[in-house]
């Protein structure tokens, strides 16, 4: 699936989970409402709101049951629209216009609502779509470039590279590998964010899985790397509190040589 396809599927999965209604990442030939349809917006792809980002716009269309009473349809549309908007906003999507009306698909007319949604996603420094999964006693948490999981899960950049030096981090006695992950991420302090994860797990060694191409399943052509990384002291924070684009840098040093996973 393409990067755009992944983003569209992510929106569909989000709305399906939040509202309990089927959500399709395409306009189907035949379907049974009620359901969401995620269609390309206008403009579909455009320059983002910040440097190094790309804005993706979709129309999230919810169609109610065609055979239901007007009172039921109205109540259903109001409830689903409100729930869907909340889920989208929580995942970092900006909800623009919300338009109600009728939609003709497959020769049938349905009552529905269309939400115009947009999000600017980083496309600089690091492979767009690449992700790293870190595991502790609570389970695995994934952070990625171009994440659709909202601001808490998003990274500005994720780079696997030769170690730049261990002196300032005090890692020389902790690691034997010559490699590290260099990460830049938004200063988001909420539970689930990378900043909070790094703070809560500072000074510990944790297993990781890294997908440089963003693929879910490892293969010969698109392998994953696994191993153990050491999280340094508490992550940095600061800057102008009124600046919504504050970031922080995080270096994760590999404890040993990584393993290449192809299946």
Environment class of 233 (CB within 10 Å of its CB; exposed 0-12, middle 13-18, buried 19+): exposed
- pLDDT tens by residue, 81-100: 999 999 999 888 999 989 98
Region 132-150: what's the mean pLDDT?
A: 82
Supply 193's token pair.
């964010």
Does the structure show a pLDDT above 50 at 169?
Answer: no
Q: In this structure, what CATH number is given to the domain that contains residue 19?
A: 3.30.2000.10
For residue 2, give the 3-state DSSP assignment.
coil
Among residues of the chain, what percentage have pLDDT more than 70?
A: 83
Q: Considering only residues 65 and 126, tell me which one the structure prediction assigns the higher pLDDT.
A: 65
Q: Are residues 72 and 108 in the same domain?
A: yes
Q: Are residues 227 and 153 in the same domain?
A: yes
User: What pLDDT does residue 140 have?
Assistant: 92
The distance between the two most distant Cα atoms of the chain, rounded to a whole number of Å, is: 70
Region 128-154: what's the mean pLDDT?
A: 79
- pLDDT tens by residue, 24-72: 998 887 777 889 999 988 888 776 666 456 788 999 999 987 655 577 6
Domain boundary among 76, 95, 122: 122
Q: Are residues 177 and 252 in the same domain?
A: yes
Q: Considering only residues 153 and 175, tell me which one the structure prediction assigns the higher pLDDT.
A: 153
Domain boundary among 122, 156, 171: 122
Q: Are residues 48 and 117 in the same domain?
A: yes
DSSP structure string for 149-210: S-GGGEESEEEEEE---STTTT-TTT---SEEEEEEEE---STTSHHHHHHHTTT-EEEEEE
pTM of full prediction above 0.75 = no
Q: Are residues 111 and 138 in the same domain?
A: no
Q: Considering only residues 47 and 108, tell me which one the structure prediction assigns the higher pLDDT.
A: 108
**DSSP strand pairing (35-47 vs 22-24):** parallel
In whole angstroms, give the CA distance from residue 205 to residue 228.
6
In whole angstroms, give the CA distance from residue 149 to residue 167.
34
Q: Considering only residues 231 and 106, tell me which one the structure prediction assigns the higher pLDDT.
A: 231
Region 2-31: what's the mean pLDDT?
A: 86
Q: How many domains does the chain divide into? A: 2
Domain range for 190 is 131-261
Q: Are residues 183 and 118 in the same domain?
A: no
User: What pLDDT does residue 167 have?
Assistant: 36
Q: Considering only residues 165 and 183, tell me which one the structure prediction assigns the higher pLDDT.
A: 183
Q: Are residues 143 and 100 in the same domain?
A: no
Does the structure show a pLDDT above 70 at 2?
Answer: no
Most confident of 141-145, 203-207, 258-262: 203-207
Does the structure show a pLDDT above 80 at 168?
Answer: no
In whole angstroms, give the CA distance from residue 50 to residue 217.
31
Q: Considering only residues 171 and 96, tell me which one the structure prediction assigns the higher pLDDT.
A: 96
Q: Indicate the helix (H) or strand (E) that contains 101.
A: strand 94-105
Three-state secondary structure string covering 5-49: HHHHHHHHHHHHHHHCCEEECCCCCCCCCCEEEEEEEEEEEEECC
């Amino acid at each position: 699936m393409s990067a755009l396809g992944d983003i569209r599927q992510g929106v569909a999965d989000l709305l399906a989970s939040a509202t309990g209604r089927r959500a399709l990442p395409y306009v189907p030939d035949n379907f049974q409402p009620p359901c969401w349809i995620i269609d390309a917006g206008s403009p579909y792809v455009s320059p983002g709101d910040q440097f190094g980002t790309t804005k993706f716009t979709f129309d999230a269309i919810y169609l109610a049951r065609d055979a239901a009473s007007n009172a039921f349809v109205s109540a259903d549309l109001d409830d689903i629209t409100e729930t869907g908007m909340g889920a989208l906003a929580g995942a970092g999507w900006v909800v623009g216009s919300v338009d109600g009306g009728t939609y003709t698909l497959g020769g049938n007319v349905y009552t529905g609502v269309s939400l115009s949604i947009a999000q600017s996603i980083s496309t600089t420094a690091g492979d767009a779509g690449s992700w790293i999964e870190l595991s502790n006693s609570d389970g695995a948490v994934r952070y990625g470039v171009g994440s659709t999981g909202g601001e808490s899960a998003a990274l500005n950049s994720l780079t696997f590279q030769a170690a730049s030096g261990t002196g300032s981090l005090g890692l020389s006695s902790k690691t034997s590998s010559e490699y590290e992950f260099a990460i830049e991420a938004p200063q988001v302090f909420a539970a689930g964010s990378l900043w909070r994860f790094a703070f809560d797990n500072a000074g510990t060694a944790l297993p990781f899985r890294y997908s440089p191409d963003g693929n879910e399943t490892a293969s010969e052509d698109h392998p994953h790397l696994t191993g153990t990384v050491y999280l340094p002291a508490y992550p940095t924070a600061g800057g102008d509190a009124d600046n919504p684009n504050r970031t922080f840098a995080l270096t994760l040093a590999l404890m040993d040589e990584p393993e290449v996973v192809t299946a």
